[in-house]
Amino acid sequence: MKNNIIILGGGQAGIYAAREIRQNDSESNIKILGEENLLPYERPPLSKDFLLDKKNEEDLYFYSDEVLKKENIDFEYVSITKVDFENKKLFTKNDEVYFYDSLLISTGSENKKLSLDNNLINDVYYLRNLEEAKTIKDKVLNKNKITIIGGGFIGLEIASSLSQLQKKVTVIEIGDQLMGRIIPKQIADLVQNIHLEHGNEIILNKQIDKIIKKDDMYEILLNDNSLIETDFLIAGIGSTPSVKLFENTNLKLNNGITTNQFCETSIKDVYAAGDVSNFYHPLYERNIRLESYQHAQNHGICAGKNIAGVKTEYTSIPWMWSDQFNLNLQLTGICDDYDEIIERGNDINNGVIYFFLKNKIIRGACGLGIAGKVGRDIRITSKLTEKNTIVDKQILSDQNLKLNKLIQK
Amino acid sequence: MSEENWIEVGSTDSIEEEDLIRFDHQDKTFCVYRLIDGFYATDGMCTHEAVHLEDGLVMDDEIECPMHQGIFNIKSGEALSPPACEDLKTYPVKVDNDKIFIKID
């Protein structure tokens, strides 16, 4: 049957869903509505290779216009301002109407903003999209001292890039460790040391009391009365799911759009995928919301299958990475619910991994190493957590013993 | 076909089944794999970012990049999963007297 399928949100989850639907359904109309005037593109390089001029805008697009044309996937740049779920309609601010039979919401997430005095609102920069990355890249050219507010993935990746551009970088983090929301302290401390070795200043446990603008620079007053002088301010303090459009509708929201393991929301024929979805994970038996490359892709694909009528449960094990300097950090599974930690390796040149176990079963792992050194073992861990495997701890802790055997039949 | 392009990699027992080794020759670097049905070779570096696939995971006929989980078919070099989108170059392999050789062009 020929349906109208609309994908609201032109990011990674949206494009992967669209292509998956087309693979399973050659007839239906598929239309992606994107707010940015750009085809879907990769975001991870924005804070790294794009700032460092190692990748250009053209390198970032997932698929070309030709691919979308060939697969008969429409892409429109439009901003939807109202949703009528009952009558299956979307409206623009000019009251143009889009009808759908099935709707996928993949609106992603947006940056949390600092609460600042009016005169400073345009002085703090954020990085989520290509436009913002271009702005930062351009503006830092003639700046020297850069302050980054927030010691999470994005802040530290920018800190790493700007350090490589010979900037004097200070990172201010309110918590008592870097990347505290998801990364175990053992690995966070190793990352901190690398930043210090490269000359970045890391300030933990401090809050900003006040930012004072002085001609071309700023003074940042911290809650211990210390003062930091800086030429440029960037903030990366987390994100929230983009759900404003749905706040006064029947769509069930709870830290994003509540979705089951089939990407279905509380409203029939409405699906959600990617950052915006707080989905039920059968393995963890609870809802989780993830913001990662792998999740956006795989959740989009899963939603695409379900929309096309191929009932598919989403059971993907969380996996994420961050690249800072020449290091690659990876995390898989759940690392905050454990009763035992096992360490593998003690030198980041060969990779250091911490495994997190509960009731002897591996729940997750987090590792750091020179590019590529922890990837295989982290990947194997993903597979082990999928199967609730009980593993010989000796093998986990001895870097001379390969983990490959653990997943071979 | 000139015989001199066949370069000796090492003995067949230097690679475990469903695994790989790195092989460097002059200024080039390769991965040589032992799959269930034989030996295969590809370029060593991932086509997505400059990281060596020697630390990747071999599963069936696929090699997964250790950095960002791009996946390639080892036999054809085809990029199967993003972020990898450019295929990996493959090389002919032969085994002679328990020694592995790859043909470098």
List chain B residues with CB under 8 Å of A328. Answer: 51, 66-67
> Which sequence spans correspond to the domains of chain B?
3-103
3-state SS assignment for residue A196: helix
Closest CA to A263 of A276, A254, A249: A276
Query: pLDDT higher for B51 or B105?
Result: B51
The structural architecture, per CATH, of the domain B3-103 is: 3-layer Sandwich (2.102)
| Whether B64 contacts chain A with CB within 8 A | yes
| Whether B18 contacts chain A with CB within 8 A | yes
Most trustworthy range by pLDDT among A311-315, B1-5, B69-73: A311-315
| Whether B63 contacts chain A with CB within 8 A | no
pLDDT of residue A1: 75
Residue B2 has pLDDT above 60, yes or no: no
List chain A residues with CB under 8 Å of B65. Answer: 372, 375
List chain A residues with CB under 8 Å of B68. Answer: 293, 321
pLDDT of residue A387: 86
* Residue-wise pLDDT tens digits, B14-67: 999 889 999 999 999 999 999 999 999 999 999 988 889 999 999 999 999 998
3-state SS assignment for residue B102: strand
Instruction: For tokens 């995928």, name the residue.
Output: A273
A190 Cβ partners below 8 Å, 6+ apart?
A348, A352, A368
CB contact under 8 A, B18 and A408: yes
CATH class, A326-407 region: alpha beta
Helices (H), A25-147: 65-70, 130-139
Count of helix runs (H) and strand runs (E) in chain B: 0, 11
Q: Could you give the residue range(s) of every CATH 3.30.390.30 domain in chain A?
A: 326-407
Residues of A near B (Cβ–Cβ under 8 Å) read: 42, 44, 62, 293-294, 297, 319, 321, 323, 328, 371-376, 379-380, 402, 404, 408
Closest CA to A90 of A2, A9, A13, A11: A9
Separation CA B105–CA B90 (nearest Å): 11
DSSP letters of A286-351? Answer: EEE----HHHHHHHHHHHHHHHTT------PPPEEEEEETTEEEEEEE--SS-SEEEEEEEETTTE
pLDDT of residue B4: 67
Segment holding A124, helix H or strand E: strand A124-125
Minimal CA separation from A21 to chain B, in Å: 17
DSSP letters of A17-45? Answer: HHHHHHHH-SSSEEEEEESSSS--B--GG
ipTM score of the complex? Answer: 0.87
pLDDT of residue A258: 98
Asked if A381 contacts A365 with a C-beta cutoff of 8 angstroms, the reply is yes
Instruction: Please give the average pLDDT of every successive group of 10 residues along chain A, which has 409 residues.
Output: 94 97 97 94 95 94 93 96 98 95 98 90 96 97 97 98 98 97 94 98 96 94 96 97 97 98 98 98 95 95 98 96 95 93 96 95 95 92 89 92 81
pLDDT of residue A310: 98
pLDDT of residue A409: 55
* CATH code, residues A4-110+240-307: 3.50.50.60
Separation CA A283–CA A269 (nearest Å): 25
Q: Could you give the residue range(s) of every CATH 3.50.50.60 domain in chain A?
A: 4-110+240-307, 113-235
| Whether B96 contacts chain A with CB within 8 A | no
Describe the strand order of the beta sheet including B19-25 as a list of residue ranges: B19-25, B28-35, B38-43, B90-91
pLDDT of residue A119: 86
CATH topology of domain A113-235: FAD/NAD(P)-binding domain (3.50.50)
| Whether B71 contacts chain A with CB within 8 A | no
